[in-house]
Amino acid sequence: MNPIQVNGVTYTSVTAAWRALSPRNLKLVTVRWRLRNGWEADDALLLGVVPPRNRRLFKGLRGG
């Protein structure tokens, strides 16, 4: 397991952080994808789901 730090709190794993923070409607697979694609841990776990109609616009805002 790889520890992850979110909002100054260190969790033993991504799954542990996801369970503790219980993001609304955010799937674990989405969080893992975000982290693998360079998102900061805080953003990956704390930002909610981006609506499909805004995903292309959001990508531009993220610098991707």
What are the tens digits of pLDDT across the range 4-14?
999 999 999 99
Give 50 or 40, the one with higher predicted confidence.
40
Q: Give the structural domain span for 9.
A: 4-62
Number of domains in the chain: 1
Q: For position 18, what pLDDT does the model report?
A: 94
pTM summary value: 0.77
Alpha-carbon gap, residue 8 to 33, rounded angstroms: 22
Distances 64 to 10, 38, 61 between C-alpha atoms, Å: 27, 9, 8
